[in-house]
Structure 1
Amino acid sequence: MTQPDLSMDAAVTALAGVDRPRDRDASETYARVWWSVLAEPGDGAAGELVARFGPEDALRIALSDVDDEWSSARSRWMPRADSGAVRRALDAARRAGARLLVPSDPRWPSRLHDLGTHAPHVLWLRGDPEPAESAPTVAIVGARAATPYGEAVAADLAAELAASGVVVVSGAAYGIDGAAHRAALSTEGRTIAFLAGGVDRAYPRGHESLLASIAKSGAVVSETPCGAAPTKWRFLSRNRLIAAVADAVIVVEAGHRSGSLNTAAHAAQLGRALGAVPGPVTSAASAGSHRVLREFDGVCVTSAADVREMLGGPVAAPPTPDGRTDETSRLLDALSSRVGRDTEDVARRAGFAYADAQALLGLAELDGRAARGEDGLWRSVKRGR
């Protein structure tokens, strides 16, 4: 294959409208774009080659026909050595208004360096590239097929943390991820979504408007080039980025084999603080969370205060009257400390949908404000001041 033209002039022309690197960085940035097309996320051989020789010389070695120690890896890179593919990725980025971020940029998330040779070559993003470490960062992850309880807990955690200045990171999937992103946005907080495919392709499609909202005030990020499709492997590889950029990773709700456990494993390997929200012992949706508590020595998380403690307490809780949200107040007003009421009755009295009342009752129980008796009925619990 003909070696790509990595000269400064060629690089500046290729990157026009996508990146404005300093002249001395243009060739390196363009070479990294090539690497993001050639190699799958987390390719250790590609990372080692770039670390040893720099992205430009590494690319020339990768695309040579020499029989050397890189021959095995070269066999998987060469089928993608297509200048047309690189050009199409950059064209798609221009259409999407995406930008590039490279490790030499001061806005690069420095925690990604902890991934070593498995760190991304370049990040493609829509939105503000403000470094995540400018504020405490918490990843909130969990099941796509979440229960109302799980989504309510995720939203409660994300809203309170984002309102107090914490950056909320997740993967933009249905269920827990989406609930966390939406709640952070509702408080005008900052949230970042890491995708498994190109940032020009909304995935899932049902979250197209959510991703657009995230890009306005936060960032939508991927290490795969624009136009790349999300695959099962890329989802798993994407999880290492979510774990790496965070100070703490919280698994809200996850099945026994949930992909969120993959994120938890990366967090444990990287030395990040790790926590999980407990659920009913009979709920399959919380089996993975319980595994985090049991097998990963995770912190039991029942409130945003627990998460702030995991962060070392740098962020104060936002003030709320009597420590309660309006919805919690409505719920407690519908309960009695003397007369037990079933969930349907509580929902009717408070003006909630049944599923919302069920979720809020679960939160109130965790907070010690409500209790369910042996008769299955709910009662409020008075707490000392």
Structure 2
Amino acid sequence: MTSSVTTNEDPGEEFHARVFLARVVEPGDEVAGRWIRELGAAEVVRRLRDGGPQLVGVTDRRWAGLRARAGLVEPGRDLAVARDAGVRFVCPGDAEWPAQLDDLGDARPTGLWVRGLPSLRQWALTSVAVVGARACTEYGAHMAATLAAGLAELGWVVVSGGAYGVDGAAHRGALGAGGATAAVLACGVDRPYPRGHTELISRIAEQGLVVGELPPGEHPTPSRFILRNRVIAALTRGTVVVEAAHRSGSLVTARAAQKLGRHTMGVPGPATSSLSAGVHELLRGEAVLVTDAAEVVELVGDMGELAPDRRGPVLPRDLLAPAARRVLAALPGNRAAPPQEIARGAQTTQDDVIARLYELRALGYVERHSDGWKLTRQAMISVRAGRGRR
């Protein structure tokens, strides 16, 4: 079976049936998904179009509504419009179908309309979702773009929803780094939404992929946005939420990812920001805190792809032997002290302290004052810095 709408070869009855159902059935309809699984798409279409026995799980009223919609569907026209727009239809059984979408069970898409040259299946294998608030802050936009650019530079595909705010920043960050990005839309992929992102989505289609469940010309609705999020979660190896209020749609994506056993991550924000409250709620649960692309890849990547250790700057005192550091730390900061007092603080012998003090004097850390020892100005700065990092 082939998914290309530009081929002269007939892709088969099941393919055309799924094109038909993509316009009749709403995304995420588990009842219709069960029909397709149990009977096959072609049989479901015959029942809807030709008036066969009513299928189980729906009321008479809903069945009549589905049959009325079915009477207006022209799959050949949808395929022709798609072909003219450079769009192909990919469905289960195709070589390009991402198998991870099957984790959605009966809620998996009937098929996906894909605009762009790369293979959807290949790209999905190394993809990460970056989602968040539409009305994001400058911090949120900066973190989304930086995170996406870093992921792109590490060879990962950045997937988002093409919306304003975090989504747009993530797409732009990946594109700016010369990387790969895919937008999953809640409308027909031939009609970019939001309108203000027409240029961005067109650029994504040229350099990456634009994907959606709805056939050409279909418009978005609030419920379609929510249902679209399950596709983003299932398609990718993990979901990163950059900014999200308590009722943000991006939390739906994160929870769908958790339900599917995918990695869920969050970028922390100010504790006082309502736009980070949803992310912080996730982080109090099973989500993992991340601050850059390397930390994301450590979770979603292959074994051994570890983020670098996070350390503060190396101070000169860090290069001292542990015994010398203990002696240095035992000296008072504002006066000279005799060796026996320093020995008690360092929990060692007086002879060991005297030996270490002469080492430290050679390095410029201490100076002798009559019968005692005192920190030099350089050492006082170093010791204070070291204590501040504890």
TM-score normalised to structure 1 length: 0.74
Partner amino acid, structure 2, of 1:33: V
**Which residue of structure 2 lines up, in the alignment, with residue 326 of structure 1?**
none
**Which residue of structure 2 lines up, in the alignment, with residue 124 of structure 1?**
113
**Which residue of structure 2 lines up, in the alignment, with residue 108 of structure 1?**
97
Shift in CA distance, 316/185, structure 1 to aligned 2, threshold 3 Å:
farther
**Which residue of structure 1 lines up, in the alignment, with residue 293 of structure 2?**
304
Gaps of 5+ in 1: 1-7, 320-380
* SS of structure 2 residue aligned to 1:180: helix
Shift, 1:250, TM fit: 0.3
- Find the partner of 1:201 among 188, 191, 196: 191
Shift in CA distance, 133/99, structure 1 to aligned 2, threshold 3 Å:
closer
Matched, 1:57 2:47: no
Shift, 1:313, TM fit: 4.6
**Which residue of structure 2 lines up, in the alignment, with residue 184 of structure 1?**
174
**Which residue of structure 1 lines up, in the alignment, with residue 17 of structure 2?**
31
Shift, 1:65, TM fit: 4.5
Matched, 1:75 2:44: no
Indicate if the aligned counterparts of 1:132 and 1:167 stay in contact, CA closer than 8 A.
no
Shift in CA distance, 71/293, structure 1 to aligned 2, threshold 3 Å:
closer
- Find the partner of 2:7 among 10, 20, 25: 20
Shift, 1:90, TM fit: 3.0
Indicate if the aligned counterparts of 1:169 and 1:191 stay in contact, CA closer than 8 A.
yes
Give the Cα–Cα distance (whole angstroms) in 1 for the partners of residues 264 and 146 of structure 2: 18
With 308-317 and 77-86 compared, the bigger mean Cα shift is at 308-317
Partner amino acid, structure 2, of 1:55: A
* SS of structure 2 residue aligned to 1:253: coil
RMSD across aligned positions (CA): 2.7
**Which residue of structure 1 lines up, in the alignment, with residue 33 of structure 2?**
47
- Find the partner of 1:267 among 254, 257, 268: 257
Indicate if the aligned counterparts of 1:160 and 1:318 stay in contact, CA closer than 8 A.
no
Give the Cα–Cα distance (whole angstroms) in 1 for the partners of residues 128 and 189 of structure 2: 21
Indicate if the aligned counterparts of 1:308 and 1:314 stay in contact, CA closer than 8 A.
no
Give the Cα–Cα distance (whole angstroms) in 2 for the partners of residues 318 and 300 of structure 1: 13
Give the Cα–Cα distance (whole angstroms) in 2 for the partners of residues 269 and 315 of structure 1: 26
Give the Cα–Cα distance (whole angstroms) in 2 for the partners of residues 68 and 55 of structure 1: 13
Give the Cα–Cα distance (whole angstroms) in 2 for the partners of residues 68 and 53 of structure 1: 10
Give the Cα–Cα distance (whole angstroms) in 1 for the partners of residues 48 and 279 of structure 2: 42
Gaps of 5+ in 2: 309-384
Indicate if the aligned counterparts of 1:41 and 1:237 stay in contact, CA closer than 8 A.
yes
Give the Cα–Cα distance (whole angstroms) in 1 for the partners of residues 37 and 177 of structure 2: 41
Give the Cα–Cα distance (whole angstroms) in 1 for the partners of residues 191 and 160 of structure 2: 17
* SS of structure 1 residue aligned to 2:130: strand
**Percent identity for Structure 1 against Structure 2:** 46
**Which residue of structure 2 lines up, in the alignment, with residue 5 of structure 1?**
none
* SS of structure 2 residue aligned to 1:198: coil
* SS of structure 2 residue aligned to 1:226: coil
Partner amino acid, structure 2, of 1:145: A
With 94-103 and 271-280 compared, the bigger mean Cα shift is at 94-103
Map 1:211-360 → 2, pairs under 5 A: 211-295=201-285, 297-313=286-302
Give the Cα–Cα distance (whole angstroms) in 2 for the partners of residues 80 and 129 of structure 1: 33
Shift in CA distance, 67/172, structure 1 to aligned 2, threshold 3 Å:
closer
Give the Cα–Cα distance (whole angstroms) in 2 for the partners of residues 221 and 112 of structure 1: 13
Shift, 1:226, TM fit: 0.6
Radius of gyration: which is bigger? 2
Aligned residues: 308
* SS of structure 2 residue aligned to 1:50: helix
* SS of structure 2 residue aligned to 1:140: strand
Give the Cα–Cα distance (whole angstroms) in 2 for the partners of residues 70 and 91 of structure 1: 33
Partner amino acid, structure 1, of 2:36: V
Indicate if the aligned counterparts of 2:16 and 2:75 stay in contact, CA closer than 8 A.
no
* SS of structure 2 residue aligned to 1:51: helix
Shift, 1:120, TM fit: 0.7
Partner amino acid, structure 1, of 2:13: S
**Which residue of structure 1 lines up, in the alignment, with residue 311 of structure 2?**
none
Partner amino acid, structure 1, of 2:127: T
Give the Cα–Cα distance (whole angstroms) in 2 for the partners of residues 127 and 302 of structure 1: 31
Shift, 1:122, TM fit: 1.2
Shift, 1:256, TM fit: 1.1
Partner amino acid, structure 1, of 2:5: V
Partner amino acid, structure 2, of 1:236: I
Deviations 1:251-284 (A, max 9, x none): 0001110000110110011000000011001001
Give the Cα–Cα distance (whole angstroms) in 2 for the partners of residues 112 and 291 of structure 1: 27
Deviations 1:78-100 (A, max 9, x none): 12113455455334323322111
- Higher RCO, 1 or 2 (CA under 8 Å, sep at least 6)? 1
Deviations 1:155-206 (A, max 9, x none): 1110011111101100000010001101111122111100000001110111
With 257-266 and 123-132 compared, the bigger mean Cα shift is at 123-132
Give the Cα–Cα distance (whole angstroms) in 2 for the partners of residues 71 and 260 of structure 1: 30
Give the Cα–Cα distance (whole angstroms) in 1 for the partners of residues 278 and 236 of structure 2: 20
* SS of structure 1 residue aligned to 2:284: helix
* SS of structure 1 residue aligned to 2:13: helix
**Which residue of structure 2 lines up, in the alignment, with residue 325 of structure 1?**
none
Indicate if the aligned counterparts of 2:294 and 2:307 stay in contact, CA closer than 8 A.
no
Give the Cα–Cα distance (whole angstroms) in 2 for the partners of residues 198 and 231 of structure 1: 12
